[in-house]
């Protein structure tokens, strides 16, 4: 294939010869054209394995049904490996980018840039194969990030066995190619979901005094839940309680006997997370009692928050400035209340998560998860170069304690 001219900083372009550049572009385009949903990434993982093997990576294994783990030997192995993680799944969205390599699968699209994440992880493997890190590097190609359960599945399958530190990143079109966010502190929120079932007594809509009306109770509850963030959470911290579903009733002249609400709770620290979960329950039960209803409240605990620690983020910042200069580092400039299941790795081992600029020069902002989202191809090379450089810069004396699963190898 003839690759287009890429608008890459010279320091990055110099790391990729034509053959490697074309191979990575081809891989990304193939992944983008053939997106697969969470846990269905069979073709995707096959393509990734083929690409790794073609680049000379010898130790490539499937991990679970659709995950892949590759190991690139270090110069001086021992004392724990370092991991690079790229997620690989797509979303149930019909693509509207008009790209020549747009999705060929109706209703499925790489609208979050995971095609680029997978490709930059393969690119980092290629760079590390040529110029190894001190320690072994494990490249984790993880399914089902969008479902939020892919990282845990990979950990259960042993992807972190012997790994003592991990790095990853996400494309971000708010920033031009060549800019990188490597901030210590919160980068993604925890995400827990709740369901509240209000049960009352159904009756004729014309005789409300004979009912215990769950619709009026649900309406009061939606409003009352807003007071958690407004009145209970410390204003200096961030939190979200959103009611995303509300179902009740079947006819205009009937008061139903139940209503159900569902929603999400986002936090960036554990005390706020606990406070909001406890308050959703307390308020649901209190409002239900006020309206002579019963409340059944259930929670599903989801992804924890990502809070980048100082040590690993300092290594990442060094890598970025040495490759791209001081001006490449940009602040996130906002608090991201979306979730990212990379957090499960950071619950177990140190590491950090970056945001990597993916807007082509002069391009416009397009939100991730939109049918028009596309990450600039140049981001592949920045991501690969930055991640390879980060793992090479982990100081030799850093003590890494590899993870061992209970009963694992
Ligand atoms: Ni994503």
Q: Ligand 1 centroid to 219 CA: how many Å?
A: 33
Distance 111 CA to ligand 1 centre (A): 8
5 in any annotated domain: no
Same domain, 291 and 351: no
Query: Does 273 lie in the same domain as 386?
Result: no
Residue 33 to residue 144: CA distance in whole angstroms: 18
CB 346 within 8 A of CB 190: no
Q: What is the largest CA-CA distance in the chain?
A: 80
Same domain, 178 and 232: no
For residue 367, tell me if it sits in a domain.
yes
| pLDDT string in tens for the chain (409-residue length) | 455 578 899 999 999 999 999 999 999 999 999 999 999 999 999 999 999 999 999 999 999 999 999 999 999 877 799 999 999 999 999 999 999 999 999 999 999 999 999 999 999 999 999 999 999 999 999 999 999 999 999 999 999 999 999 999 999 999 999 999 999 999 999 999 999 999 999 999 999 999 999 999 999 999 999 999 999 999 999 999 999 999 999 999 999 999 999 999 999 999 999 999 999 999 999 999 999 999 999 999 999 999 999 999 999 999 999 999 999 999 999 999 999 999 999 999 999 999 999 999 889 999 999 999 999 999 999 999 999 999 999 988 787 876 665 544 4
What pTM does this model have? 0.92
Residue 237 placed within a domain = yes
Residues 295 and 335 in one domain: no
Q: Are residues 169 and 211 in the same domain?
A: no
50's CB contacts (< 8 A; 6+ apart) are none
**Predicted pLDDT of residue 406:** 52
Please report the pLDDT score of residue 408 as a whole number: 46
Residue 15 tokens read as 């790391």
* Cα 110 to middle of ligand 1, angstroms: 9
| Residue 1 falls inside a structural domain | no
Q: What is the CATH number of the domain that holds 236?
A: 3.30.70.360
The CA 329 to ligand 1 mean position distance, Å, reads: 21
Domain that holds residue 205: 190-300
What distance in angstroms lies between residue 373's CA and the mean position of ligand 1's atoms?
11
Residue 213 and residue 72 share a domain: no
Distance 140 CA to ligand 1 centre (A): 15
Residues 247 and 147 in one domain: no
Residues 40 and 169 occupy one common structural domain: yes
Cα(353) to centroid(ligand 1), Å = 12
Q: How far is the CA of 112 from the centre of ligand 1 (A)?
A: 5
- Give the Å distance between the CA of 187 and the centre of ligand 1: 13
Same domain? 72 vs 202: no
State whether residue 174 is helix, strand or coil: strand
- Asked if residue 221 belongs to a domain, the reply is yes
**Residue 226 and residue 241 in contact, taking contact as beta carbons nearer than 8 Å:** yes
- Domain co-membership, 253 together with 325: no
- Kindly give the distance from the C-alpha atom of residue 124 to the centroid of ligand 1, in angstroms, as a whole number: 19
Q: How far apart are CA 332 and CA 113, in angstroms?
A: 18
Same domain, 196 and 173: no
**Which of 300, 326, 342 is the last residue in one of the domains?**
300
Q: Are residue 180 and residue 324 in the same domain, yes or no? A: yes
Residue 30 in any domain: the answer is: yes
Count of domains forming the chain = 2
CA of 73 to the centre of ligand 1 (A): 29
């Amino acid at each position: 294939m003839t690759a287009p001219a890429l608008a890459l900083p010279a320091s990055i372009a110099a790391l990729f010869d034509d053959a490697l550049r074309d191979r990575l572009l081809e891989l990304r385009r193939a992944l983008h054209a053939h997106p697969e949903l969470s846990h269905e990434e069979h073709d995707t993982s096959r393509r990734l394995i083929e690409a790794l093997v073609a680049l000379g990576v010898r130790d490539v294994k499937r991990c679970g049904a659709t995950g892949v783990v590759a190991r690139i030997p270090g110069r001086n192995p021992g004392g724990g490996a370092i991991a690079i993680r790229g997620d690989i799944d797509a979303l149930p969205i019909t693509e509207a980018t008009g790209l020549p390599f747009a999705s060929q699968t109706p209703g499925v699209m790489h609208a979050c840039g995971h095609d680029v994440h997978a490709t930059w992880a393969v690119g980092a493997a290629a760079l590390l194969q040529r110029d190894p890190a001190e320690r072994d590097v494990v490249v984790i190609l993880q399914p089902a990030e969008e479902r939020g359960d892919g990282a845990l599945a990979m950990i259960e399958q042993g992807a972190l066995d012997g790994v003592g530190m991990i790095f990853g990143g996400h494309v971000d079109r708010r920033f031009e190619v060549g800019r990188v966010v490597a901030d210590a502190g919160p980068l993604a929120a925890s995400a827990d979901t709740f369901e509240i079932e209000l049960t009352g007594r159904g009756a004729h809509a014309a005789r409300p005094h004979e009912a215990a009306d769950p619709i009026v109770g649900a309406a009061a509850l939606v409003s009352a839940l807003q007071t958690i963030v407004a009145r209970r959470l410390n204003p200096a911290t961030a939190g979200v309680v959103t009611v995303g579903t509300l179902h009740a009733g079947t006819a205009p002249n009937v008061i139903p006997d139940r209503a159900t609400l569902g929603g999400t709770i986002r936090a960036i620290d554990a005390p706020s997370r606990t406070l909001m979960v406890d308050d959703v329950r307390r308020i649901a039960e209190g409002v239900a009692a006020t309206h002579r209803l019963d409340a059944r409240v259930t929670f599903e605990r989801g992804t924890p928050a990502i809070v980048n620690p100082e040590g690993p983020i300092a290594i990442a910042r060094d890598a970025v400035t040495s490759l791209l200069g001081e001006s490449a580092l940009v602040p996130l400039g906002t608090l991201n209340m979306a979730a990212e299941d990379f957090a499960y790795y950071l619950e177990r081992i140190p590491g950090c998560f970056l945001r990597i600029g993916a807007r082509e020069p002069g391009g416009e902002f397009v939100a991730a998860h939109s049918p028009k989202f596309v990450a600039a191809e140049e981001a592949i090379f920045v991501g690969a170069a930055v991640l390879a450089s980060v793992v090479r810069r982990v100081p030799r004396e850093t003590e890494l304690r590899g993870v061992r699963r209970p009963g694992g190898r």
